[in-house]
Amino acid sequence: MLKVHSIETFGTHDGPGIRLVVFVQGCQFRCLYCHNPDTQLADNPRAKLMSTQDIVALLERQRGYMGSNGGLTVSGGEPSLQVDGVTELLAAAQAAGFHTAVDTNGAFFDDRVKQLYHHADLVMLDVKHIDDDWHRRLTGKSNESVLQCAQFREESGCPLWLRYVLVPGWTDQPEMIQRWAEHFCRYQTVEKVEVLPYHTIGKKKYIALGKKYPLEGVEPPQPEAVNDVRLILSRYFASVS
């Protein structure tokens, strides 16, 4: 059984085509910019328990709309926190002929995560900062396992998308973006790099949870700044959006 925070039935932002996106409950990170703080705790009484069969049944209902490249994406929260259940779900969806993707922060790496990746046709890995100190300050955890996840995916030869959240004052240092790009630019499996501009849509959720918003005063990046970062990354990667 999976603890599910929510489900999006016609997702178009988390992988190719039209997708069923399952947001699972719980996350090991505490990103300062997290726009879904209600997904972070492993135990949330509002999370719904769903079986693999429940979710595959939802997929079947959408099969006709998904086209040839749509399918299932498991996001979060963080899928690796429920690694066995997510692996079972991805394997079942694959067996039923659906394209499978996982959107992960790479917070955890071991043999069970390798199995999870084995059943993901696409891994979308968020590499939030290339510098470990900055990564710890931004997320509360080291980036060591994140880089191990990326390396493992590269060695497996299977598709990988890299995601980078652009946060003014935190992840927009040009030398760090260059270092990030240099780390991954020789990877053969990277099909795409996505730059995701920081936004403040989640602010009201912190207020509702009685929490202080961690990035008070930080404004979303200007479109020009986002373009500049995409330009830097375009020197290293064939597909940047």
Residues in contact with ligand SF4, total (CB under 6 A)?
12
- Cβ closest to ligand SF4, residue 157 vs residue 210: 210
Q: How far is the CB of 63 from ligand SF4 (least distance, A)?
A: 28
Q: Which residue's CB is nearer to ligand SF4, number 40 or number 145?
A: 40
Which residues from 66-85 bind ligand SF4, rule CB under 6 A? 76-78
* Residue 130 contacts ligand SF4 per CB under 6 A: no
The yes or no reply on residue 106 touching ligand SF4 (CB under 6 A) is no
| CB 75, CB 28: distance < 8 Å | no
Instruction: Please state, in angstroms and rounded to a whole number, the distance separating the CA atoms of residues 192 and 70.
Output: 17
Q: With binding defined as CB under 6 A, does residue 149 bind ligand SF4?
A: no
- SS in 3 state form for 151-200? HHHHHHCCCEEEEEEECCCCCCCHHHHHHHHHHHCCCCCEEEEEEEECCC
Taking the CB of residue 181, how many other CB atoms lie within 10 A of it?
21
Binding mask 5-34 for ligand SF4 (x = CB under 6 A): ----------------------x-xxx--x
Residues between 33 and 72 that touch ligand SF4 (CB under 6 A) = 34, 36, 39-40
Cβ proximity to ligand SF4: between 175 and 216 the closer is: 216
Using CB under 6 A as the binding rule, whether residue 235 contacts ligand SF4 is answered as no
User: Which of 105, 143, 145, 171 is in the footprint of ligand SF4 by CB under 6 A?
Assistant: 105
Shortest spacing between CB 55 and ligand SF4, in angstroms: 19
**CA 98/CA 100 separation, integer angstroms:** 6
Distance CA 124, CA 158 (A): 11
Burial of 126: CB neighbours in 10 Å, binned 0-12, 13-18, 19+? buried
User: Segment 173-232, which members bind ligand SF4 (CB under 6 A)?
Assistant: none
Taking the C-alpha atoms of residue 154 and residue 24, their distance in angstroms, rounded to an integer, is: 25
Provide the 8-state DSSP code for 209.
T
The encoded tokens of residue 17 equal 């085509």
Chain contacts with ligand SF4 (rule: CB under 6 A): 27, 29-31, 34, 36, 39-40, 76-78, 105
